[in-house]
Structure 1
């Protein structure tokens, strides 16, 4: 599993924008930026939709006031689902990124097999990335939702 002090692995994440599909090289996307990246097991799922994503939407301005250049949400879903979920959640301040084949989650060592729920998904986590290097990594244990909340990340900044 990735740890604080390590650089993000090479990976590609997708985003559906008003101009079409964009495939982002993670190294280039996060270069020279302070980023809050959080991962959810699935778009439109209860905890993710009722608490995890909304917390970052509500605190977006406060994160930016603390020097965060980009807040991004990633999930093992396709870019079409991530765009629709972001729109449904009024998450216009966030970048909604798709890890369609779970390759990013696997490269981080943060994948999990949910079997009948959806197969291989990302564990729930939040991290702060400074110029491609992880400076904070909060990974949830099991089905808990405590250390990856927007409030927990804000308190650590």
Structure 2
């Protein structure tokens, strides 16, 4: 099964119909390191080229063995190819995301942003009900965002696999 590549659309905000190429990223707060450190994702993406990838959960096997380490390993190459920021998002609390990032030496390479109430995930309609992982989680996907607009979106066909959302599949 091929990865889900959404068709280009006019620029709108992803909310009720799911994320597509051409959409603006929603203006919602995520959290970095602690609940006191809010990061508005739309503001973060304004005027930049951002690689954003999401995982079902920090410290899960596929995320820890392959997904996050791939982006950490390729961060220098991706940034030299034009990415301003690389961001990992998961429906976890900010303390868990921070600890997971530190364990994988992500500091200075990949920003670890928590979506604890799944507000961002729901706004993109990229959630998956995964009771064994705690209920609503993010599907596994990657996107390239330029100046706040989704330029490419790759959602894993089953929402959790590791094929099209890996770092080596990113095209800037």
Bin the TM-score by the shorter chain: over 0.9
- What residue is the counterpart of 1:150 in the other structure? 167
SS at match of 2:36: strand
Partners in 1 of 2:24 and 2:62 — Cα distance? Answer: 29
* Aligned counterpart for 1:85 among listed residues 100, 117, 128: 100
Show structure 2 runs of 5+ residues with no match. 1-17
The answer for unaligned runs of 5 or more in structure 1 is none
Equivalent residue number for residue 34 of structure 1: 49
**Equivalent residue number for residue 60 of structure 1:** 75
Structure 1 residue ranges, 4+ long, deviating more than 4 angstroms after superposition: none
- Give RMSD over aligned pairs: 1.2
Aligned length: 153
CA positional deviation for 1:58:
0.5
Write the distance in 2 (CA, Å) between the matches of 1:118 and 1:36.
26
Post-superposition offset of 1:144? 2.0
Q: Distance in 1 between matches of 2:111 and 2:166?
A: 17
What is the aligned partner in structure 1 of residue 27 from structure 2?
A: 10
- Return the structure number with greater helix share: 1
Give 1:7 shift.
Answer: 0.5
